[in-house]
Amino acid sequence: MVTSVSDASVEAVVRGLLGAVNVDGGPTDRQLSVLGSITTHLWNRPDLDPAKLSGLNPKETAEQVTDPHERRRFHEVLVALEVCRHPLTQAQVESVEFYSAALEFDGPDLKIFRDLVDKGAASAAEDYSRFLAGNLKQRSEPSLVAEGSKSSAATSGAEPELLKRFEAFADLDPNSLGRVYLDFHRRNRIPLPGEQASPMNHFYVAHDMTHVIAGIEPTGPGEVALSGFQWAMNDNEVNSAALLASLVVHEAGFGQAGTLTTETGQLGMTGAAELLGQEMSRGSRCTGDFSLVDHFALAGEPLAEVRKSFGVQAPDDPADGHHNW
């Protein structure tokens, strides 16, 4: 499922994005790095160097980028670039709003980041919390939702029945999805969903299964890259929300999604921008979206076969510290 723009539109999209971040003296090095990585890896245009191109203004961008799907993708990439400006400024937020209006696109990020610059991080965090609560069920393990399981948000303690299902994975083949899922939690010292009370438990099941199948580790850059992989795998409302949530938590640094500490500026780490572009490209080459399938039904299958069935290809550098392949 390719999340991309047509070959004819790539240059206009890139130049429009450049115009949108050309504020406060110009795009930052991080914004150029992220845009360059996406242009090279996802849109397959290494010949387009953002640092050497001129930008388009909102009107010019709207005239050249007319397809609604391409406008949606323009906006979602623009959000990623927006949060790469530290600190986020009034001029940057206003520029994003001008381009969004010209392309007739709206999104929850507009209010979140407007409040961040106008009212501060506390207000933006409240916006983000409402946004997260509004789509948490959509992003939770579908079999738990379908079974009518008691909502994690309503529990006052751990979920022993859920833990029993994970304990059964220990009897599966070592190379099965279920066993590798257990190994993922042990290796990274992450509690299994249900060990602790959390409104995020059923979300964690689907999220961590996506980590395992994609082969991406839960490092800071890895978390952002996973959301980019997922978005490129299937640009639907759920995966777009995942990308925004990851950017808020791991790049902007004012939201929480169950992390122990707030992370800021992960895309500024060495190799992180390149990793994001690479994983977007890898996600776009998948033949199906495995993020919200019935993972319990697949738990006994060999992980290699699960990956093959969804067309998941090996990462560019499996030994880079952000993968387990």
Q: Are residues 158 and 282 in the same domain?
A: yes
Q: Are residues 246 and 292 in the same domain?
A: yes
Q: Are residues 84 and 208 in the same domain?
A: no
Q: How high is the pLDDT of residue 146?
A: 77
Q: Is 188 part of a structural domain of the chain?
A: yes
Q: Is 134 part of a structural domain of the chain?
A: no
The ranges of the chain with pLDDT < 70 are: 1-3, 148-157, 256-262
pTM of the predicted structure, to 2 decimals? 0.93
Q: How high is the pLDDT of residue 258?
A: 54
**Helices (H), ranges, 83-219:** 90-102, 108-119, 121-135, 142-146, 160-167, 177-187, 201-214
What does the DSSP assignment read for 93-105?
A: HHHHHHHHHHTT-
Q: Are residues 159 and 253 in the same domain?
A: yes
Q: How high is the pLDDT of residue 198?
A: 87
The helix/strand/coil state of 216 is strand
Q: Is 201 part of a structural domain of the chain?
A: yes
What does the DSSP assignment read for 251-301?
A: II----SS-SS----GGGSTTHHHHHHHHHHHHHT-SS--TTS-HHHHTTS
Q: Are residues 173 and 288 in the same domain?
A: yes
What are 3-47's pLDDT values in tens digits?
Answer: 579 999 999 999 999 999 999 999 999 999 999 999 999 999 999
Q: Are residues 77 and 204 in the same domain?
A: no
Q: Is 152 part of a structural domain of the chain?
A: yes
* Burial call 301-318: b when 16+ CB within 10 Å, e when fewer: bbbeebbeebebeebeee
Contact 105, 66 (CB under 8 A): no
Q: Are residues 179 and 47 in the same domain?
A: no
Q: Are residues 100 and 176 in the same domain?
A: no
Q: Which domain holds residue 93?
A: 10-106
Percent of the chain whose predicted confidence (pLDDT) is above 90: 87
Q: Are residues 162 and 93 in the same domain?
A: no
Q: Domains in the chain: how many in total?
A: 2
